Structure 1
Amino acid sequence: MNQQLVHRRTAALAGAALLAGALMGCGASASAGPGGGTVTILQSADIAPTTFLSQNNPNFAIIRTVFNTLTTYDRKTLQPQPELATSWQQSSDKKSITLHLRDGVTFHSGREFTADDVLFTLKAVQRKDVSSQLKHVAAAITGMKATDAHTVTLTLQQPVSNLFDLFELMPIVDQATFDDLLKGRRFVGTGPFTVDSYTPGVGVKLKKNPHYWKTGLPHLDGVNIEVQSQSQSMLSSLRSGQSEVGLDLAPLDTAVLRGDPAFRVIASEADDATYYVASNVKLKPLDDVRVRQGIAWAIDRQRILDQALAGIGRTSSLPWSESSPAFDPAKAGTYHQDIGKARQLIAAAGAVGKPVNVAFNSGFLTNQTIAEIVQFGLKNAGLDPKLVPLQAADFFAKLGNGNLPGLYVNVHGFGQLSPATLVKGAFPFNAKKNASNFDSPEYRAVADQLWSANDPAAYGRANDFLLENQFVSDLVVSAHTFTVSSRLKNLDYTMYDYIDLDDAYLTD
């Protein structure tokens, strides 16, 4: 990692520390804890077994508690660190890599973890029926072989800049039970906890894995992951002591607890929750880039940050976290509210008074608040915006097939690591196929350039293209939050926000 990025990353972490407070709490070490006990984690949606090989928010609490990945990024240096892979060597042309795997690891079934399990998982990501935003990386692997039980060599069709993003995102699954995993019937991993029971729509009960490969861990006896759709109900449960962790409470609810010594509000250092408004460019007047630019100038990003997100994050016109090598502070502030510019562009496109739908997931209050602020700005800019609340299932179905009825408000990730992962995999930005139906040979070329090399010139080209075309207008780069009882020590998480409870313990 270049020195400039290290300095920038250090500054970003310092800011996050001021917001979030001490992550580990009281300076306690794992060995100081008494161990035992069961932690209850609340989240707003049920886990999604069919998307276990993707980054999907409802799975944040179960991926790293039940499974392990090949590598894990150090959050301060962003360098990959060993997990199930203990070391690796890449060829000088970056077209092959040899991974040395950890010995003495067993699945919850008692079967030994071997190189064949890595090959199986990679091939699973390549399958057409398996969902993964990193499928493009797996597809670039043209050869894979196990040279012995604990060594894997992969050959790639070209150098790729986000290979370790795949290794971090992808939990290693049990080939004997993988199809049952996708159906939510069996969850067999190598992680610190085993699945005791799963009740769809209700939650998952985990118990300690006595044969975990990290000696002496975990400390906890178990973890309950419970579905609670209302943020206010999560807040009540936390305050009453019925639960210890709330995932992504509504920002205004997290603000209520931020000064309470009984809790810590941890804003993820990944900063990978970026709120945006995007356009279905097949629909008029959103097919005109001048209208899309006018919309970008019409929106009050600061109001969104203050009123919808309780100040968690920063306004931005670009999708990147400050940890990304593509982050450019000079360009991140390109768009801000300027109603005069917005009116001028919309008038030049002949769109004054034109109706525009603004769709959002009605089950997520934060997005509703953002949609209302967007609507107010568009009215002032000369458009005729109409809010279109959609049930979650309907919203995401339309998002997936590109049929949203105009503008749409949502949140995306993948801005924190390799820029290629966003432009090749994140659905709002995927250069091959995206939710906005935006298609451009130039954009595909930009995405391929980012993918083949970490080239600073490519970062600038990508930023300029995204700022010019505005098929996605980024508004605020925010963070997933973990609202944690002070009784729970040593909660950790990965750069993909998978919760890590290896060292966690409860105090009285």
Structure 2
Amino acid sequence: MTGLTRRAFLTALGSVGAAGALAGCTSAVEQARRVGTGAGRPGGTLVIGSLTDIDPKTVYTQSITTMTLGLLLWDTLIRYDRRTLQPLPSVATAFERSQDGTALRLTLRDDVTFHTGRPLTSADVAYAVATYASDKAGSQLQSTASAITVETPDPHTAVLRSAKPIGNIFDLLEFMLLTDRETAAELQRGETFVGTGPFRFTGRQTGAQADLARYDGYWNGPAALDGVRLRVVRDSGALLTSVRAGQSDLVLDAAPQSLRPFHDSSLWRVESEDVDDVAYYVGANVADPRLSDKRVRQAISYAVDRGRIADEVFVRRAHASSAPWAQTSPAYDPQANARYARDLDHARSLLAEAGWRNGSSLTLSYGTGLAVAPSIAAVIQNNLAEIGITVQLDPREQAAFNPFLKSGKHQLWINPHGFGQSNPATLATGAAPFKPKGNLSAFSSSTYTDAVARITSVVDPRSADARAAYAAYTDILLDEQFVIDLVITTSTNVSPLAVKGLGWNTYKYIDAHRVTVR
């Protein structure tokens, strides 16, 4: 996931001057009852406040951009039932799997059009799969997409074929946005965003806002809203204050510790999504000499106070976990999730064994679009000081943060990852911190690669063979600790009570098709 959150301590909320400047002469109570441009009438514009701007380079990844705009501008082939993870029809109305599991026939709707008026066909499905399979896209589902070839026997039939069964193929179909192949270059430049979704792109002021209007030709019926505006507010305190002042109608993934001013349920809607798919972690670059010894990484893991992070930063809307799996995952193991209970003495002993010089420093980086990151970083900085590691904090502009993680110059970093509740093969092969080749930690081993391959060969994720494969894979993660998982949580959104009908999919792409602001 990305970082996907927009969280931090909201000291600005306690400032009379800041609140007064934003609210003007209208009280927060009145603004809560009068939402944006939709106050008191049908339609209206939903204003989404965000710490970060659209990043076109992340459209094919699970990112703040896709979680905010994914299902507004685009569609996916299927939608999961989030309780059962059973695929449900969307743009694909039917899906039939061959007996040997190597082919999946999709029947497409015949009334889906792009915002340009061009009909969507099976060629667009082939384009989407090829795009997600490309290195340039940087998708977490690249390995899944690259194992597929697409046949297009007619405009409304696509046959997805693979050399062997793909256990997580429906994860791809829920994740993959159907972007327009005719405007691919403009999309990458951030000039236009053409899809088949309920809203169409109408304009953008880079770094400030993006505007969408209802697409009346949407196959599933026109949206209730006239439009959506993404409004960039760079300061996390001012972001939630803007909701109280009526300047924003919705903040996604708000920090639970920041939501005290929104306790009045007659005015405000504070809603946690039912997708336990946000895991915050500390990554370690094993190519750095100070982090190449796994005992140092294990010591860091034993020193971190996960319970404090869960209780204080996430206000008990998260649970501590040493492993990446949500409780709904077939790979979930409560003993594995509790493996790294805090033990400072053992942490110091591991550092001593590794020859760590007391007081040596490490740099802990994080993106400024992750508003909980400063709070998590402060806890970790204090925790590691207790075992003799000095931590230098390194906040970085969100747009530059992901490229920095690929630079090889990073040491430790804070980020969220997703896919902990998906098919375990999706996390093992696709999530950037975990990929066997090219992961963010520069970690590689034949044992790890073999364990990932064993997971991907699983057809039935509930079988005994699957449980053994997941346990072996998890044991390697816990031993190597190149990904130091901290807590597992979900997104918590805040809005005035008048905002109703917000939905989302299993990858936390929000769905505003049925949102009203009255």
Q: What residue number does 2:468 align with? A: 457
Which whole-Å CA distance do the structure 2 matches of 1:249 and 1:463 have between them? 30
Shift of 1:185: 1.6
Q: 1:95 aligns with which of 94, 102, 111?
A: 102
Q: What residue number does 2:200 align with? A: 194
Q: 1:272 aligns with which of 277, 282, 293?
A: 277
Within a 5 Å distance, the mapping from 1:65-464 to structure 2 comes to 65-141=72-148, 143-215=149-221, 217-353=222-358, 355-361=360-366, 363=368, 364-404=370-410, 406-453=411-458, 454=461, 455-464=466-475
Q: What residue number does 2:486 align with? A: 475
Q: What residue number does 1:14 align with? A: none
Residues 218 and 469 (structure 1 numbering): CA distance in 2 closer, same or farther, change over 3 Å? Answer: same
Shift of 1:124: 1.9
- The amino acid that maps onto 1:456 is R
CA RMSD of aligned residues (A): 1.9
Residues 252 and 448 (structure 1 numbering): CA distance in 2 closer, same or farther, change over 3 Å? Answer: same
Q: TM-score, structure 2 length as denominator?
A: 0.87
Q: What residue number does 2:13 align with? A: none
Which whole-Å CA distance do the structure 1 matches of 2:80 and 2:252 have between them? 21
| Cα deviation digits, residues 310-352 of structure 1 (max 9, x gap) | 2221100011222221111222111121111111222222224
| Cα deviation digits, residues 94-141 of structure 1 (max 9, x gap) | 111100001211111111111111112112223332231111111101
Q: 2:509 aligns with which of 486, 498, 504?
A: 498
Shift of 1:358: 3.2
- The amino acid that maps onto 1:376 is N
Q: Which runs of 5+ in 1 are unaligned?
A: 1-32
Shift of 1:384: 3.7
- The amino acid that maps onto 1:506 is V
| Cα deviation digits, residues 45-80 of structure 1 (max 9, x gap) | 111122222211123221101111001111111111
Matched, 1:56 2:67: no
Which deviates the most, 275-284 or 85-94? 275-284
- The amino acid that maps onto 2:76 is T
Shift of 1:176: 1.5
Residues 409 and 54 (structure 1 numbering): CA distance in 2 closer, same or farther, change over 3 Å? Answer: closer
Q: TM-score, structure 1 length as denominator?
A: 0.89
- The amino acid that maps onto 1:493 is W
Residues 289 and 354 (structure 1 numbering): CA distance in 2 closer, same or farther, change over 3 Å? Answer: farther
Q: What residue number does 1:486 align with? A: 497
- The amino acid that maps onto 1:289 is K
Which whole-Å CA distance do the structure 2 matches of 1:112 and 1:388 have between them? 47
The question of whether the paired residues in 2 share the 8 Å contact of 1:43 and 1:58 is answered with no
Residues 362 and 465 (structure 1 numbering): CA distance in 2 closer, same or farther, change over 3 Å? Answer: closer
Which deviates the most, 391-400 or 237-246? 391-400
Q: 1:37 aligns with which of 20, 33, 44?
A: 44
Which whole-Å CA distance do the structure 2 matches of 1:164 and 1:458 have between them? 20
| Cα deviation digits, residues 231-274 of structure 1 (max 9, x gap) | 21121211122221112233322343244431122222222221
SS of the residue corresponding to residue 181 of structure 2 reads coil
Shift of 1:301: 0.8
Shift of 1:354: 5.6
Which whole-Å CA distance do the structure 2 matches of 1:504 and 1:479 have between them? 21
Aligned pair count? Answer: 472
Shift of 1:171: 1.0
Which whole-Å CA distance do the structure 1 matches of 2:449 and 2:261 have between them? 44
- The amino acid that maps onto 2:200 is T
Residues 391 and 499 (structure 1 numbering): CA distance in 2 closer, same or farther, change over 3 Å? Answer: closer
Which whole-Å CA distance do the structure 2 matches of 1:227 and 1:196 have between them? 16
Which whole-Å CA distance do the structure 1 matches of 2:47 and 2:397 have between them? 27
Shift of 1:388: 3.6
Residues 116 and 486 (structure 1 numbering): CA distance in 2 closer, same or farther, change over 3 Å? Answer: same
Which whole-Å CA distance do the structure 1 matches of 2:261 and 2:279 have between them? 22
Q: Which runs of 5+ in 2 are unaligned?
A: 1-39
